[in-house]
Amino acid sequence: MPSAKRFNIYFRDFGYRVIRLKYFIMIVAALFLEVATLSIYLLKSENMLDFEIFTIAILYGITSSIIVVLAVGVLVLMKTDKRHDIDKIRALEEFKINYAKLSNRHSPEINDLVSRFDGENSSIDIKINYASVLEEKYDKFLQDFLKLKTPSFLNYAFSCETDHLRKEKEFYNGFSMFLKRDVLNSISSESEIARTNFLRELTKIEKNLQIII
């Protein structure tokens, strides 16, 4: 994976995990500012003893009211975000279900053809025929996959699986075109990496959502 992409993924996950801290920080900052403002105001008074208790009570009441309002606002925001996260979990589950259905429709035949392709060592013509069929099967799998409804937070996972299917198609096309072994090995390696990243990204997103909820 390119370093720039790893860099972006790291900070996306980091921000996703600590996003709830913003509410705590808001409350603490507001409390600190209000207390600091009240303290400075009192210290600047010429005579602390002469400062009216009534005035102090009013200032304290105002400060407390502001904190309470902010706390209520934060609770509302947290509830809104939680609802949003629940919607994300539902969208993730829907995507996984739809992908599983799609995979179950294509994978059995593809896996059988791959086994025949790998086991065919007696005839290059038969092996090329398997490769041509596999190219067509992966192309159909890819076209169906591109039609899946995908929420924006799954864009990276979607792109990884898209790359995987394209690389598989490219591999079998390259075999039929008699590409060099090292080129085919490179394509196969890129396909495996893309597939691994797809599964890892789904697991990571699911784990992060469970932590937040």
The tens digit of pLDDT for each residue in 102-134 reads 999 999 999 999 999 999 999 999 999 999 999
Residue 161 burial (C-beta neighbours within 10 Å; 0-12, 13-18, 19+)? buried
Average pLDDT score, the chain: 79
Cα 127 to Cα 150: distance, rounded to the nearest angstrom: 36
Cα 112 to Cα 114: distance, rounded to the nearest angstrom: 5
Please report the DSSP string for 147-180 in residue order.
TS---GGGHHHHHHHHHHHHHHHHHHHHHHTT--
Please report the DSSP string for 31-54 in residue order.
HHHHHHHHHHHHHHSS-TTTS-HH
- Looking at residue 207, its pLDDT comes to 86
Instruction: Give 89 or 129, the one with higher predicted confidence.
Output: 129
Assess whether pLDDT exceeds 90 at residue 160.
Answer: yes
Cα 148 to Cα 106: distance, rounded to the nearest angstrom: 14
- Looking at residue 31, its pLDDT comes to 64
- Looking at residue 107, its pLDDT comes to 96
The residue whose two tokens read 């932590």 is 211
Cα 182 to Cα 190: distance, rounded to the nearest angstrom: 12
Cα 192 to Cα 69: distance, rounded to the nearest angstrom: 53
